[in-house]
Structure formats: C-alpha cells, structure tokens
Amino acid sequence: MTEIEKKMRDLEKQIEKANYEYHTLDKPSISDRDYDMMLNELIELEETYPLFKSPTSPTVKVGGVVLDKFVKVKHEKPMMSLANAFNNQELIEFDKRVSKEVTEYSYNMELKIDGLAINLTYVNGVLARASTRGDGVVGEDVTENIKTIRSIPIELRKPLSLEVRGEVFMPYSSFHKANEERLKEGLELFKNARNAAAGTIRQLDSSIVRKRNLDMFCYTLVEPHKYGIHTQEGVLTFLNDLGLKTNPNYKVVNSIEEVISEISRYDVLRKELSYDTDGVVIKVNELDKYDQIGQTVKYPKWAIAYKFAPEEVVTTLNSITFQVGRTGVITPVAELSPVMISGSLVSRATLHNEDYIKALDIEINDKVIVRKAGEIIPEVVGPVLEERKNTIKFEMIKTCPSCGDLLHREAEEADWFCVNPGCPAQHIGKLIHFSSRGAMNIDTLGEKVVVQLFEENLLKDIRDIYVLKDQKERLMTLDRMGEKKVDNLLMAIENSKSMPLDKLLFGLGIKHVGAKVAKIILKRYPSLELLSNASVEDLKTIPDIGLATAESIHHFFHTEYARKLIQDLKEIGLQVEMEVTETTSNLLQDKTFVLTGKLETLGREEAQTIIEKLGGKVSGSVSKKTDYVLAGSDAGSKLEKAISLGIEVIDEKRFKEMTSIE
C-alpha cells in the first residue's frame, strides 16, 4: 500500500469513527472544524487520486450509521450534504465554478442552522412521514417524534402533497433546561445543543421529545417546479405561506463580493440569536439553473457552506492545575468559570507551559480570552489587562503532583519534567497513548479502564496489555467489568496485534516521534531491528528528521527497557516489520468494476482484459462492493443503481487516464 493510500484509509477511519460518535452516539470527540478539515482533506485526495478512493468512503455517504431501533426509510431523492468554504478565497473559487456553467444568476444567503436535517412528507396537506437523513440514501422514520415539535404543522394551510427538508435544532433555552435536568438526575450532560437535538430525535419515547422543546427551520422544497417556483427565495416564501417555519434572516445578493461583505454581518447577527448557527449557506437563487451547474455524488455544485471562524470568549481564570503527561512533561491547565464556546461548555483550557503563562502575563483571577480553534482542548489566548484586580501571581510547581519527586527543566527546553521512571501518572499516560486511536487503536482500553487496571496492579507497562488474557477471571471480578466487556477488551487487544508497524512505533511514545515521523522513519528502516541498530548520523540523513529526533530515537533503542520490550512484543506476535509496498502492476488490485452501456473505442472484452491484467475484477451487477462503474452511452439501470449507491461512475476517457492507456 502506498503512503497516500494509507493516509486515505487512515482519514476514512478517523472520519467514520467521528461520524459514528457524532451521528450515532451523539458524543463527539473532535470539533466540527477538525472534522470538516479531515473530510476536506480526504475529498481533495480522492479528487487527486481517484483510483485509491474506497467505495465505502465516508465522503460518499453524507451522514452517520442508521440505527436499528427505528424503521429505515429510503429517501425519494438522496439527501445531500454541502461543500464547505473556510475563507473568502474559497468562496471566490466556488463562484468561478458556478460562472463557468451559467450566467445571470444571484445568490440566496441563509444561516446554516446547527441541528440535524429532517425530511418531511406531506400527503394532501397532512404530515405523513418524517425521516432523518441517515447516510443520505436511507434514513430513519421518526414521524412520531417530529409530530411533537410545536413549530411543525400536522396539517398545511393548503392540501398539497410535497416533500420538505429543513433543520431540527434545540434552542439554547431548551438546551439549558435539558442539561439542568440531567444534572439533577446525575446524567452525563449534553455537550452542545446539536448533540442534544440529535439525541432527542432518536428517543423511542416521543413524550420525552415533546418535553425537550425542539424546533425546525425548513429550507428545501424537493420538487419546486411542480408548484411553479423558480427561485430559492420563492421556496422560502412558499413554505412560509403553507405554515412551515423558515428562517427570516435570508438575503438575495447579486455577486460573490456582496456575499463576502454580508458574511461579516451574519457573524455579528448570529451572536444575538437564541440558537446555534455554524455558518452561512450560499445557494444559487435560480433553481432552473441547478441542473446545468450540476452536482457531485456528495454535494450540489450550486451551493456552498461558509463556516464561521472560531469564537473567542472572555471568562475568569479561577486557578491553575497541573497535568503529568506520558513523557513526564508537566502541563499547566486553566480552571475556568464555565463558559459556552462554539456551542459547548468549556471549563478547562491548556496553558502549555511556564513560559507561555509568563510571556502572556497571565495571573490567577484574571479575566482571560479563550478560544476553541479547531482543537478539542480549548486554549487561553491572553488576559484582559484592563480588568485586572485582586490577581495572584503564578508560580510554577517544584514537585510532581503525581509522585512528589522534584521536577527538572533543561536549559533549552520550555517544559518542566518529572523524571521519576516509577511515576504513576507517566505510566498511565503511556498506556493511554499506546492504545489510543492514532496508535494501536484498542478502543475498549480507554482512559478509565487503563486507570482502573493500573490501580488494580494488572497493568504497569505496555507488555502487560498482552498478558491480560491470562487474567480473565480476575478481570471479571472488577467493578463495571462484565464478561461481555472483558471479552470485548481482550478481543480488541488481540486484534491490535495486526496493526502496522508505524502505529506501533508511534504508540511506543518515543519523544519527537509523532504519527507522521514514525511513517517517515520506517520508509528508511522498515523494521524495529533495523531501526534499533541505526546510528544518530544515519538517522539524521532521513528527510525531515533533525538532530533532536535522531538522538531521541537512538537513545530509546539503546535502553535496556526498549531492548526487552521489543523482544517481548516480537514474541507476542506484534508487527515488527513493515509490509512491502505494492508495485504498479497491481494498480487495480482488489478493485471491482461493472461495465455498462456502449463503450466507444474500447470493446467490453478489451476493457475487461485491461482491468484483470492490472489486478482488478469485473462483475455483472452493481452492489455496495462495486468500486467503479465504467459507463458508456445508453447506460441504463446499472448506472441509476450506481448513482443511488453513491458509487463512482467513470467514462472511457477517465478509465484510460486511470489505467494509463493512451
């Protein structure tokens, strides 16, 4: 597998996990902005390397996994997602693409409501069905729940049959009330209003939904031409006239320059609203031009979502506490008066190190500016000096908060370290890092379980993870550890043995060896044995590897600890060598093609021979397992099926480019 393919598989995995956490569990672990950035990166890679695109890529589906507890519903027309823009340049590029296809158009700007998309079906003016987006093709029937939302009419003002789409969301007032109740009941709080809304819609008991006071803004009419409507503005008016709720803050403008200047107005306006918005949706206003502008499998080309920059807020710094990392590094943490930032409640933020606090002149009791710049952990940007009173000067601690040993700081480093090899916090940190998503991905061995097993003396070091299976009986006697949970844990540990070496190397937690550096190093030294024999001089010659990293790697592999650990991991059966990379003759390895329609220059048989020669397969019917549909003229139902399943459709020209013929 090439580096690029690996990167793409890695991104898919990360996005899928994030999707699952966000859409299915309603418990995100990364910020929306981080998610969007990863998705954009994957979309870009897929556009540059279409051959490496996986048929099940999360960029094809636009949402999460469909739960079993609600009846599944296939959407009449797929529910698409929107491409994102993060800056003005990306808006200008979007406009350029539009102007290549059509002339004389305007834009309708709408707030991007941060909730979840719902499809409503009205038959003869009566609400017949409501469904979630699901994966864009199949959603869940949530009619009973939707009926409880007050702003959604059960009967329209006219007896029309139509399909409408919009965003269900939880206003701040309902969100705060729901969390107050959860606090009283000792339940985990909702992280933000969007998750609260998504969690609520998936309640099986609709009376709970009613109590949560959700709301909905409608913005799409599925077949507008049937009602003689030709603009997006017209859609909003039409829906509003039927008794459906639409957001009043829309605006029609005539150029992308006007869009850009209006966006700053929206960024001010949104702070005064009683619900979350995460951007502005810009749609070509003239609906009749949509077909000409076109769409990709993922999103229409006639619209784009501009995402607002991260929000900054002011709050009080009540105290500074200290965390001990896996390398012994001590990180000061700001304990803040809880404050909402970008839709979630923040009460802690990193202060990086002693120098950072001193350089920014931060004191305890200061009012500080906090921001969540696409990070999971928010950061303190600086103090509001004009408001300083009764502050206490910051003093760095001298001893480790975990083991009590004296801390050390090297002259050229900004960080203080606990160098006690027996420090419990460091061991716990190392174990958490080893099993984390970016490393060995043992998802059932999260922070809580690691701490529990550490305290029970079952886990002190990485190698102990792989002998836990001999302690099954003991594990089952522990708190919150039934047989099923233990089995899952042991299975995930067993599975991790086949993780590629770059994950293991990253998981070892060697100073300066992040996920990327691990991959770079293994290109030169594709086994732990080769790497452990490399000199500092040799390591330094690897591109992007500096002296500090080279020394750190060399030092690690020359400790008794590492020698023994590596020997043990090899015996346990972990991957201590890299897989050999594929050659170009396997260009289509494991890719399944379906041929349909009449091919102009290539005969079908010829195309089939080419595919098979390059390691691919040709199948007679389109399914989820199909990677590409090669379509010629007069392609029929196979093509339709491919589109509905979101499978990449290519023409002869593209096929020739892919396989490098001509």
What is the greatest pairwise CA distance in the chain? Answer: 83
CA angle 489, 492, 493 (to 5 degrees): 85
Which position among 53, 112, 301, 372 bears the catalytic label? 112
C-beta nearest to ligand IVH: residue: 117
d(CA 454, CA 459) in angstroms, rounded, equals 5
Q: Which of residues 522-581 bind ligand IVH (CB under 6 A)?
A: none
**CB of 219 vs ligand IVH, minimal distance in Å:** 4
Our CB check for ligand IVH shows the closer of 46 and 110 to be 110
Stretch that binds ligand IVH, among 80-88, 200-208, 390-398, 633-641 (CB under 6 A): 80-88
Closest C-alpha among 643, 615, 623 to residue 631: 643
Nearest alpha-carbon partner for 505 in 552, 451, 458: 552
Question: In the set 26, 32, 46, 167, which binds ligand IVH (CB under 6 A)?
Answer: 167
Could you give the CA distance from residue 396 to residue 55 in angstroms, rounded to a whole number?
53
CB of 286 to ligand IVH, least distance (A): 16
Q: Which of residues 174-233 bind ligand IVH (CB under 6 A)?
A: 219-220
**Letter string b/e over residues 204-219, b meaning 16 or more CB atoms within 10 A of that residue's CB:** eeeeebbbbbbbbbbb
- Per DSSP (E only), the strands in 415-502 are 417-418
* DSSP H helical ranges for 224-321: 232-241, 256-269, 290-293
CB 215, min distance to ligand IVH, A = 13
Q: Catalytic: 112?
A: yes
User: Cβ 135 to ligand IVH, closest distance in Å?
Assistant: 12
Q: Which is nearer to ligand IVH, 199 or 300 (CB)?
A: 300
- The verdict on 46 binding ligand IVH (CB under 6 A) reads no
For residues 276-295, which are near ligand IVH according to CB under 6 A? 281
Residue 266 Cβ vs ligand IVH, minimum distance, rounded to whole Å: 12
Which of 267/651 has CB closer to ligand IVH?
A: 267
DSSP 312: E
Closest approach of ligand IVH to the CB of residue 273, in Å = 13
Q: Closest Cα to residue 199, out of 18, 208, 80, 181?
A: 208
User: Token pair of 126, please?
Assistant: 């009566």
Q: Which one of 76-84, 488-496, 497-505, 512-520 is the stretch in contact with ligand IVH (CB under 6 A)? A: 76-84
Among the listed residues 59, 48, 50, the one whose alpha carbon sits nearest the alpha carbon of residue 15? 59
Cross-strand partners of 129: 121
User: Strands 628-631 and 592-596: what pairing?
Assistant: parallel
Closest distance between ligand IVH and the C-beta of residue 117, in Å? 3
Tokens of 127: 């609400």
In the bound complex, what is the minimum distance in angstroms from residue 213's beta carbon to ligand IVH? 19
Q: How far is the CB of 277 from ligand IVH (least distance, A)?
A: 8
For ligand IVH, the closer CB: 247 or 592: 247
Task: Give the tokens for residue 414.
Answer: 């900004």
CB 332 within 8 A of CB 348: no
From residue 538, give the alpha-carbon distance in Å to each of 524, 534, 553, 554.
Answer: 10, 6, 11, 10
Instruction: Give residues 101-120 in contact with ligand IVH (rule: CB under 6 A).
Output: 110, 112-113, 117
Which residues are CB-neighbours of 640 under 8 A, at least 6 positions away?
none
Q: Which is nearer to ligand IVH, 28 or 429 (CB)?
A: 28
Compute the least distance from the CB of residue 257 to ligand IVH, in Å: 21
Write out the E strands in 135-255: 138-140, 162-169, 215-221, 251-253
Nearer to ligand IVH, 271 or 480 (CB): 271
Reference 378, options 336, 419, 425, 330; nearest CA is 336
Q: Site for ligand IVH (CB under 6 A): which residue of 11, 42, 66, 80? A: 80
What mask of x and - would describe binding to ligand IVH in positions 304 to 343, judged by CB under 6 A? -x--------------------------------------
Shortest Cβ 447–ligand IVH spacing (Å)? 31
Taking the least distance from each CB to ligand IVH, the nearer of 274 and 637 is 274
Is the separation of the CB atoms in 223 and 162 below 8 Å? yes
Taking residue 443's Cβ as centre, other Cβ atoms within 10 Å add up to 15
CB 165 → ligand IVH: shortest distance, Å? 7
Residue 93 corresponds to which tokens in the numbers above? Answer: 């590029």
Computed from CA positions of residues 210, 211, 212, 216, in that sequence, does the dihedral angle turn out positive or negative?
positive
Residue of 254, 244, 26, 274 lying closest to 130 (CA atoms): 244
DSSP state of 141: B
CA-derived radius of gyration, the chain? 28
| Complex with ligand IVH: residue 153 or 300, whichever CB lies closer | 300
Q: Which stretch binds ligand IVH (CB under 6 A): 78-86, 238-246, 325-333, 561-569?
A: 78-86
Q: Which is nearer to ligand IVH, 64 or 509 (CB)?
A: 64
Whole-number Å distance between alpha carbons of 204 and 265: 40
Ranges within 636-655 binding ligand IVH (CB under 6 A): none
Q: Report d(CA 506, CA 280) in Å as an integer.
A: 39
E strand residue ranges, 554-655: 592-596, 617-619, 628-631, 648-650
Cα separation of 89 and 193, whole Å?
30
Is 646 in contact with 297 (CB distance < 8 Å)? yes
For the record, the structure tokens of 631 come out as: 């379509």
Among 300, 325, 438, 500, binds ligand IVH (CB under 6 A): 300
- Complex with ligand IVH: residue 62 or 610, whichever CB lies closer: 62
- Closer residue to ligand IVH in complex, CB, 138/305: 305
CA within 13 Å, CB half, 659 = 25
Size of the site for ligand IVH (CB under 6 A): 14
Task: For 557-594, give one letter per residue: b (16+ CB within 10 A) or e.
Answer: beeeebeebbeebeeeebbbebeeeeeeeebbeebbbb
Residues found near ligand IVH in the complex (CB under 6 A): 80-82, 110, 112-113, 117, 167, 219-220, 281, 300, 303, 305
Please list the active-site residues.
Answer: 112
